[in-house]
Homo-oligomer: A and B are copies of this chain.
């Protein structure tokens, strides 16, 4: 682990992200990444034991660059549950486009690769934690709409925010990030916030 070593590793990760972004996370081979890094395909295996491990490392690398904690701060500091919901969806709406390509690459080997499935699953459960916190905040305010239990509401919000929904609305339907955020926010408020509370805002 000399500094040379770390440097090449970083260059690989940078090249991986760049290549994935250029291709929308589709059809990127080890040879492509090697070429983009400017090293031989085999050298990739000196740093990462498999394609999946490289993809996972690239995901973590990207996370580190993105200051997730800092971006989550506003929603965590929200004074009401409704505010927290709004800010969380706003965070998510800006976050997804930045992790989409790497995520897509990971998702598309999910079926054949246990490690990739587990890594993606982890991320999705972290997102679920955010959803749970939002729902808990609503519940604390007495603002969780009627038939919902906290766990069912968490699952429902979690589902609404799934990446394929974002993918479909933006890629297939051409919605902007702001349209996405606006609709998801409205939808979530209508679903999860008691009507008295919405009316009184």
Contact = CB atoms under 8 A, between A and B. Distances in A.
B173 A165 contact: no
A169 B186 CA distance: 21
Nearest to A165: B159
Interface string A48-85: 00000000000000000000000000000000000000
A2 B190 CA distance: 59
A161 to B, nearest CB: 10
Contacts of A169: 155-156, 159
A111 interface: yes
A89 B197 CA distance: 28
How many identical chains are in the complex? 2
B159 A162 contact: no
Interface string A158-191: 1110101100110001010000000100110011
Interface in A123-180: 155-156, 158-160, 162, 164-165, 168-169, 173, 175
Q: How large is the interface on A (under 10, 10 to 19, 20 to 34, 35 or more residues)?
A: 20 to 34
A183 B148 CA distance: 10
A190 B27 CA distance: 40
Interface string A92-121: 000000000000000010011000000000
A111 B26 contact: yes
A183 B187 CA distance: 12
Contact of A159 (B108, B111, B158, B168): B168
B175 A111 contact: no
A14 B168 CA distance: 32
Interface in A5-20: none
The interface centre, meaning the residue of A26, A111, A160, A187 with most chain B CB atoms within 10 A of its CB, is A111
A111 B111 contact: no
A27 B159 contact: no
A111 B112 contact: no
A120 to B, nearest CB: 12
